[in-house]
Structure 1
Amino acid sequence: MKKGVLLVNLGTPDSQKTPDVRKYLREFLMDERVIDIPFYKRWPLVNLIIAPFRAPKSAKEYEKVWTEKGSPLLLYGIECKRLLQDKLGQDYAVALGMRYQSPSIESALFELRSQGVKEIVVLPLFPQYASATTGSVMQKVMELVKGWQIVPDVSFVQHYHRHPLFIKTFAELGNKYLREREYDHVLFSFHGLPQRQIVKAGIDTCCKAKGETECVNKMYGKNTFCYRSACFETADLIAKELKLEKTQYSVCFQSRLGKDPWIQPYTEDVIINIGKEGKKNVLAFSPAFVADCLETTVEVGEEYKEIFEENGGEHWQLVESLNDHPQWIDCLSDLVKGNESQVEELKTY
């Protein structure tokens, strides 16, 4: 009997047109784990303010990344599904779902159920655990399968931000550029989260007691699911592979929305400071994303490049994401199979 594998990424509009972007934003931002405020406040905020006014602007941004075949995030997802299926072989059935829009998680689960799988490994394509991403996927899957007559054995890969193959692949992609020219600084920009989402989870982290700026910035056992600490650890491990000293790289957080404090430091502030310090050449990573998308190609690749140049910078280079890199497919296979030497390491740090 086949073992099911469900790959899940965040999602993408069905097209780059404003109505489809508006539809996507509404579904995405109405998720109680994304904007974690009461429904009576969230509904008008999303449906009457954010989605109507942000959709036209976002649609123009999506135009920049859209290809003849569609969204790159979806296309890379489809290719990863195909390559992982080939890698795992006929004893596995691999499906792809998006948390928001198409293909839906429900359709992907139906695809697996139609193949008679009684066991499913859910692999969210988010390396660092966060309630708004991996947590949301887990909740959605459980809501859907609980209504099946035969409930499958479901397991989740909750995080893999320090998996050796994940780290090594990002480092290899960065080394390609480091061999071509000398860089003054390396920037690791991760997607941000409201600070309250870490605090309210009850995670044993300095954010709760002492404030954001005094976070230990590393994993030490009790804060296993602290998103901010996981991001710092990912950056430190990639930097180690690149043989960088602490002074040669910075970690920061992008995509802030609203007025509430988000986890810091903010990417815009770090870039301005780097420029003022006289750094002329910067290599930028975005290791919270495993596929290139709006947040990598446009936000990091273009918008932050402009900020850097406005503050004295000369050369800004974005390192592409893992996309369909063969070693990334090996990493996914390793996570699915539960390789003892590496997956156990993820559970015990």
Structure 2
Amino acid sequence: MKKAVLLVNLGTPDAPHTPEVRRYLKEFLLDGRVIDIPALSRWLLVNLIIAPFRAPRSAKAYRKLWTAEGSPLKVYGERLKTLLQDALGEDYEVYLAMRYQNPSMRSILAQIQQKAYEQIILLPLFPQYASATSGSVIQKFYDETRHWQAFPSISIVSYFYNHPAFVQALASRARPYIEADRYDYFVFSYHGVPVRQIQKADLHGCCLQTEDKKVAGCCSRLHEQNQYCYRAQCFATTRLLAEALQLPAERCITAFQSRLGKAEWIQPYTEDVIRQLAEQGAKKVLAFSPAFIADCLETTIEVGEEYKELFEALGGEKWVLVESLNDHASWVEALRQIVTEATLNISRQTVPTQATTVTNQTTA
């Protein structure tokens, strides 16, 4: 019996125009795990303020990003699906869905339900775990399958930031840049989340226990109590990648981008880091976006263009962004290993008769 591999990324508008972008923003921001405030307040905020005013600006940015084939995030996703299928072979069938918009998780799961798979491997394409990303995908998976009468075994890869093959794939992307030039600093810019979301996931009361929330604090090392902390996993990703590339730790900076609204978000903010580096006289910076596995608005436009303009306006000479993994061969191999390790050792003679849920995490 075959196994189904369901890759899920965040999503993208169907077209780089205001109506399609507005539709995407509404579905995305109305998710209670993304904007975690009371439902009525969230509905009013998204429908009356954010979507109407943000959609035209976002559509303009998407038009800069769009290619002849479509949105890079979706284009690379489709390529990745095909390449991973080839790498895994005939024992697996690989699917791609988006958490928001198309192809929808509902439509893809309907296809999966029609086949008698031995196992479903759910793999949210977010290296670090966060409630608003991987958590939302996992919840959506169970929301869409709760009516199924028969379940295969289910394996969920909650995160893979510390998988050696993933780290090496990132390093292989960055190494040509490091060999080609000397940089003053290396900035690792991750997508931000509100502080309250980090603290909601803290069951031990240790979150951000430091006088200065801009520094790592309790996130400076991973331990049993903060192993699911998104911020701690981001700092750990930076350390792992710096070690793989043999970069000096004192010149590697972890920062967070893409704030929304007036709430406090996890720090340090990438914009603040850029200003501080410029004040210190830094001239050359190599930037990474290790929270994203495919080029998208947050990488190509925000980090690659907007932060570059800010750095140069402040006196910097060179801001270079390492492109995302996209469909790179090392990334396909990393995914092959992750999926293989998540595969359960189930007898091919056994027909599953009841729901069995097993959550697997890859480990370094």
Give the residue type in structure 2 aligned to 1:142. Answer: Y
1:287 aligned to 2:290?
yes
Number of the residue aligned with 2:266? 263
Q: Which runs of 5+ in 1 are unaligned?
A: none
RCO comparison, higher one (Cα < 8 Å, 6+): 2
Q: How does 1:1-150 map to 2 (within 5 A)?
A: 1-150=1-150
Q: Aligned match of 2:337 in 323, 331, 334?
A: 334
Quick check: 205-214 or 36-45, which moved more?
Answer: 205-214
What is the root-mean-square deviation in Å for CA atoms of aligned residues? 1.7
What does the per-residue CA deviation read over 1:99-127, in whole Å, with 9 as the maximum and x for residues that have no partner? Answer: 00000011111222233214200000000
Question: SS where residue 36 of structure 1 aligns?
Answer: coil
Give the residue type in structure 1 aligned to 2:76. Answer: Y
Give the residue type in structure 2 aligned to 1:103. Answer: P
How many residues get paired?
346
Q: CA deviation at 1:83?
A: 0.6
1:311 aligned to 2:320?
no
Q: Which runs of 5+ in 2 are unaligned?
A: 344-358
2:294, 2:325 within 8 Å by CA — same for their partners in 1? yes
2:188, 2:289 within 8 Å by CA — same for their partners in 1? yes
1:203, 1:225 within 8 Å by CA — same for their partners in 2? no
2:278, 2:316 within 8 Å by CA — same for their partners in 1? yes
Q: CA deviation at 1:348?
A: 6.4
- For the residues of structure 1 that align with 2:295 and 2:189, how far apart are their CA atoms? 14
- For the residues of structure 2 that align with 1:319 and 1:348, how far apart are their CA atoms? 25
- For the residues of structure 1 that align with 2:362 and 2:167, how far apart are their CA atoms? 17
Change (3 A) 1:149 1:19: same
Question: SS where residue 156 of structure 1 aligns?
Answer: strand
What does the per-residue CA deviation read over 1:290-334, in whole Å, with 9 as the maximum and x for residues that have no partner? Answer: 000000000000000011011110011000001001111111111
Q: CA deviation at 1:200?
A: 1.2
Give the residue type in structure 2 aligned to 1:182. Answer: R
1:205, 1:223 within 8 Å by CA — same for their partners in 2? no
1:280, 1:312 within 8 Å by CA — same for their partners in 2? yes
1:247 aligned to 2:250?
yes
Query: What TM-score do the two structures reach when normalised by structure 1?
Result: 0.95
- For the residues of structure 1 that align with 2:321 and 2:27, how far apart are their CA atoms? 29
1:299 aligned to 2:302?
yes
- For the residues of structure 2 that align with 1:290 and 1:203, how far apart are their CA atoms? 29
- For the residues of structure 1 that align with 2:201 and 2:269, how far apart are their CA atoms? 22
2:10, 2:98 within 8 Å by CA — same for their partners in 1? yes
- For the residues of structure 2 that align with 1:33 and 1:138, how far apart are their CA atoms? 11
